[in-house]
Amino acid sequence: MRSKKQLSLNVLKKFRIIYGSVRQHFREVEQSCGVTGSQLWIMQEVANTSGIGISDLADRLSIHQSTCSQLVEKLVARKLILKERSKEDQRRVGLRLTDEAAKLIKMAPSPAQGVLPEALWALSAETIQTLNSSLEKVIEQLRIRDDKLAEKPLSDL
């Protein structure tokens, strides 16, 4: 049986593989379509649910609403997303893609949500529960910890 230190180093290597793979995917996204990974995911969600609001969009990406709003504003400024007031409720603003954004999504590397969310969603519920518990224990051991980072997109870290 391996020593605890050797096992710990093997786990560290796995974190490196995950982190490096995520970064590589985000670089490919930016190089191929000129948007960040989080912006691509936002555009994909808007494409899937035209008229979606910021709150629902933030929930789908598991990010803070203000962070989502800032990302959307950048896409609006680049004319990739349009904001439209609801005819039924003028207070509600829905989002929809421009034709240019739809073209970007088609040429972007998949998955739009990123390789880590895709990998996690493919795991069984039991595996996810075990992983979640194990990662909570790792986080408890961190000397420096910023829980606010949980609300930020991976591509923006």
**pTM for this prediction:** 0.84
Report how many domains make up the chain.
Answer: 1
Question: In this structure, what CATH number is given to the domain that contains residue 111?
Answer: 1.10.10.10
Domain residues for the domain of 79 are: 4-156
Question: What are the pLDDT tens digits along the chain (157 aa)?
Answer: 679 999 999 999 999 999 999 999 999 999 999 999 999 999 999 999 989 999 999 999 999 999 999 999 999 999 999 998 877 776 788 999 999 999 999 989 889 889 999 999 999 999 999 999 999 999 999 999 999 999 888 887 7
HEC string for the chain: CCCHHHHHHHHHHHHHHHHHHHHHHHHHHHHHHCCCHHHHHHHHHHHHCCCECHHHHHHHHCCCHHHHHHHHHHHHHCCCEEEEECCCCCCCEEEEECHHHHHHHHHCCCCCCCHHHHHHHHCCHHHHHHHHHHHHHHHHCCCCCCHHHHHCCHHHC
pLDDT in tens, 30-73: 999 999 999 999 999 999 998 999 999 999 999 999 999 999 99
